A and B are shown apart, each in its own frame.
Chain A
Amino acid sequence: MAFTMRAVKVPPNSASLEEARHRVFDFFRTACRSLPSVMEIYNLDDVVTISQLRSTISAQIRQNAHITNPKVIDMLLLKGEEELSNITEHAKQRHHIIGQYVVEQSGPHDKGSTKDPSTSEFLKNFYTSNYF
């Protein structure tokens, strides 16, 4: 099984922002290299291309690009590595991958949109913040 690949990683303990940055790039490269196997495990060939998945991964990394504390970056990397190992060892299923990485997610208020596509401006503002 594919447990071996993940088991050897030392828990990240970056001394500086530069080292954390380096770890982020290493994680990104590892994730990209596992993409062909992911495509094959979950039969994603009809749904998405490898370059789209790569862009999705980099977009998610970029969402946290503003963080400067190395320990926070380490924690995020830990979560990312756990997610990657879950995906590569087939602990997830196809609909998880498609829902989380293929379909466009656009904001917290959309979680309610499948149940109630409300056209209320008040509600939209309410979902985004307390103050409006």
Chain B
Amino acid sequence: MAAALRPAILRHLRIPAQAQSLTVDPSAPILSSFMNRIRSMSSHGDEHLTHEEVVDRVIDVVKSYPKVDPSKVTPQVHFQKDLGLDSLDTVEIVMALEEEFKLEIPDKEADKIDSCPLAIEYISNHPMAA
């Protein structure tokens, strides 16, 4: 009886479709940010990271990198231009971020991340960030 009841209930459920304001953001994966705003059936609970938390953790990871001067690190900093790191250091910081947020960033996306704002944006948009 419960098995028959469930589809009947599901047929009548209406999920509110939110009007998405598509801000033009060439570097963000638009499709994934569209799909992960609505997660009503998710079993993850309320584990979404707030933006401030993401910013704080990213800044901590960058500051604890040994070659970086912690006083220069801001949420807008560019790894190679402002902090004087080279490309290998950039890859290493991205790997440290992968470890911190328990993500696995594909190579094509990882190559694009070379500054703090890009990293913060990518992680905020990633549905699996923890």
- Given known contacts A50-B99, A51-B64, A29 and B88 CB-to-CB distance under 8 angstroms: no
Does more than half of chain B's interface fall in helix, strand or loop, or is it mixed?
A: helix
- Chain A residues in 8 Å Cβ range of B96: 51, 54
Q: Which residue of A lies closest to B88 (CB)?
A: A58
Residue in B88, B95, B99, B110 whose beta carbon sits within 8 Å of that of A62 in the complex: B88
- Given known contacts A26-B107, A54-B96, A61 and B88 CB-to-CB distance under 8 angstroms: yes
- Chain A residues in 8 Å Cβ range of B92: 28, 32, 54-55, 58
User: Is B26 positioned at the interface, with any CB of A under 8 Å from its CB?
Assistant: no
- Chain A residues in 8 Å Cβ range of B89: 58
Number of residue pairs across A and B with beta carbons under 8 Å? 39
A29 to B107, CA, bound (A): 9
- Chain A residues in 8 Å Cβ range of B111: 25
Q: Which residue of A lies closest to B96 (CB)?
A: A51
User: Is B91 positioned at the interface, with any CB of A under 8 Å from its CB?
Assistant: yes
User: Is A15 positioned at the interface, with any CB of B under 8 Å from its CB?
Assistant: no
User: Is A1 positioned at the interface, with any CB of B under 8 Å from its CB?
Assistant: no
Residue in B66, B87, B98, B110 whose beta carbon sits within 8 Å of that of A55 in the complex: B66
- Chain B residues in 8 Å Cβ range of A36: 99
B128 CB to nearest chain A CB (Å): 15
Q: Which residue of B lies closest to A26 (CB)?
A: B107
- Chain B residues in 8 Å Cβ range of A26: 107
A35 CB to nearest chain B CB (Å): 8
B31 CB to nearest chain A CB (Å): 24
The B-contacting residues of A in range 11-46, CB under 8 angstroms, are 21, 24-26, 28-29, 32-33, 36
A54 to B110, CA, bound (A): 17
- Chain A residues in 8 Å Cβ range of B64: 51
User: Is A7 positioned at the interface, with any CB of B under 8 Å from its CB?
Assistant: no
- Chain A residues in 8 Å Cβ range of B66: 55
User: Is A67 positioned at the interface, with any CB of B under 8 Å from its CB?
Assistant: no
Contact between chains at A65 and B88 (CB < 8 Å):
yes
